[in-house]
Every structure is written in C-alpha cells, then in structure tokens.
C-alpha cells in the first residue's frame, strides 16, 4: 500500500506536467552556446582582426558587406538553436513517455516568442537605421525578458539564465565597443553553463 506522501508527490508531478513544459533539453543549451561562440569567432575575424586583439571597436561598423554577413550569421545561429532545441526536446518527451506539443508547451512557446519577435523587429529597425552599436545590448535584453517571461511555464532554472542575460545586456549598453564580447558571453558561455547544469540535473 502506497504512503500518502507518495500519492501527493505523484499528484504534484501530474499537475506540473499539465501546467509546465518540462522537456527542455540541457544538451540543446550546450549546442546553442557552441553555435554562438563559433559565430562570434567568425564575426571577430570580420570586424576586428588584426587591428584590435582585445575586441574593442573604436569606430562604428559601416561596411555593408560586413553588416550583412553579421545579420546572416545571427539568423543562422537562431535557426540552428531553435531547430536543435525543438528536436532534442521532442526526443526527451518521447523518452519520458510524454507528449511534446501540449497546452503547457504552447503556453511556453507563446511566452517566449512574443518578446523574441518584438525584439527581433526592434533590432531590425536599428539595423536599417544604422544604429548597429545598440543591437548587441538589445538582443541580450529582449532575450533575457523572453526567458524570464517563459520561466512561468517551464523549469524555474531558465529564469536565472534570463536574469544573467538582462544584466549582461544592460552592462553592454554602457560599453558598446565591447558588444561582440558581451554577445559571446551571453549567447555562448552562459548558454553552455546553463546547458551543463540542466543536463546534470534533469537529463541524465
């Protein structure tokens, strides 16, 4: 005969599965961070090398060829990261014998997508108007807001990643010459750290 505390734990687990999206993959965070670091390395070569070994930009980026390379690279990283997260989260759902596309996952995606889409449109407006130096802080801030907003519908760990992204974004706004460094730290290093924590806590 099962103990009352065991029944309560099962009820709590069922309620969490119905209200929260619990299939986030830690490995997807590690891979997303890896994609971002590779992209940051490519961007560094295009923008800085060999004139600034520490990655500080003294002048604005005005070369159209470089700007479009940066935009295309950012879009590729975004598509790869979303695609990887989608595939690995689906696989995690199958391993746990649960459904992937549920009302909880829909709420999570909606909460994440609205700040990301609005932030993307805002950054596109900055790009077309030539305010490129503000884009790195803006991407970090809107991404942080998206994570904090989506944390209400998934594992709470993602909230702390969001707070870190917000902090880096604000700090980056005060040091715009180091925008690529902050972007690499936020989307690269922090993602890998977050992914490792999630992997060891929930995926093994």
Q: Where are the alpha helices (DSSP H) in the chain?
A: 4-19, 26-47, 64-95, 103-129, 135-150, 157-174, 179-183, 190-198
Is 135 a domain residue? yes
Is residue 5 situated within a structural domain?
Answer: no
Q: How many domains does the chain have?
A: 1
Average pLDDT, the chain: 81
Q: Which residues, in sequence order, are CB contacts of 155 under 8 Å at separation 6+?
A: 20, 22, 24, 198, 202
Q: Looking at residue 19, what is its pLDDT?
A: 53
pLDDT number for residue 87:
87
21 by DSSP, 3-state: which? strand
Dihedrals phi, psi of 21, to nearest 5 degrees: -85, 110
Mean pLDDT over 135-152 rounds to 93
- Does residue 186 form part of some domain? yes
Structural domain that includes position 40: 23-203
Quick: pLDDT tens for 105-134: 888 889 999 999 999 999 989 888 888 889
pLDDT at 9: 47
Q: Is 6 part of any domain? A: no
**Within a domain: residue 137?**
yes
Backbone angles phi, psi at 22, to 5 degrees: -110, 15
How many beta carbons lie within 10 A of that of residue 173, not counting itself?
A: 17
> Which pLDDT belongs to residue 43?
87
DSSP sequence for 115-144: HHHHHHHHHHHHHHHT-GGGHHHHHHHHHH
Say how far apart CA 66 and CA 74 lie, in whole Å: 12
Residue 16 lies in a domain: no
* Residue 4 forms part of a structural domain: no
Q: Which of 79-93, 94-108, 179-193 has the lowest mean pLDDT?
A: 94-108
Residues making up the chain, counted from first to last:
204
Q: What is the pLDDT of residue 98?
A: 64
Task: Report if residue 111 sits inside a domain.
Answer: yes
In this prediction, residue 11 has a pLDDT band, given cuts at 50, 70 and 90, of: very low
Q: What are phi and psi of 154, to 5 degrees?
A: -155, -165
Higher pLDDT residue, 4 or 109? 109
The predicted-structure confidence for 42-90, as pLDDT tens digits, reads as follows 888 887 766 655 545 544 555 677 778 888 888 899 899 989 988 888 8
Q: What tokens appear for 44 in the block? A: 């560094």
């Amino acid at each position: 005969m099962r103990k009352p505390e065991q029944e309560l734990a099962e009820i709590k687990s069922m309620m969490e599965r119905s209200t929260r999206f619990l299939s986030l993959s830690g490995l997807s965070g590690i891979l997303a961070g890896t994609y971002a670091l590779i992209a940051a390395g490519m961007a560094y070569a295009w923008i800085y090398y060999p004139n600034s070994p520490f990655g500080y930009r003294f002048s604005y980026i005005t070369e159209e060829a470089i700007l479009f390379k940066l935009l295309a690279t950012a879009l590729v990283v975004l598509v790869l990261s979303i695609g990887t997260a989608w595939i690995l989260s689906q696989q995690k759902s199958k391993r746990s014998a649960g459904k992937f596309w549920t009302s909880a996952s829909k709420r999570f995606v909606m909460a994440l997508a609205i700040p990301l889409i609005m932030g993307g449109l805002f950054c596109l407006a900055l790009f077309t108007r030539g305010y490129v130096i503000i884009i790195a802080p803006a991407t970090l801030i809107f991404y942080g807001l998206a994570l904090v907003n989506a944390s209400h519908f998934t594992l709470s760990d993602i909230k702390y990643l969001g707070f870190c992204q917000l902090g880096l974004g604000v700090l980056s706004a005060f040091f715009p010459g180091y925008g690529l460094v902050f972007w690499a730290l936020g989307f690269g290093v922090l993602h890998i750290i977050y992914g490792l924590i999630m992997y060891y806590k929930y995926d093994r």
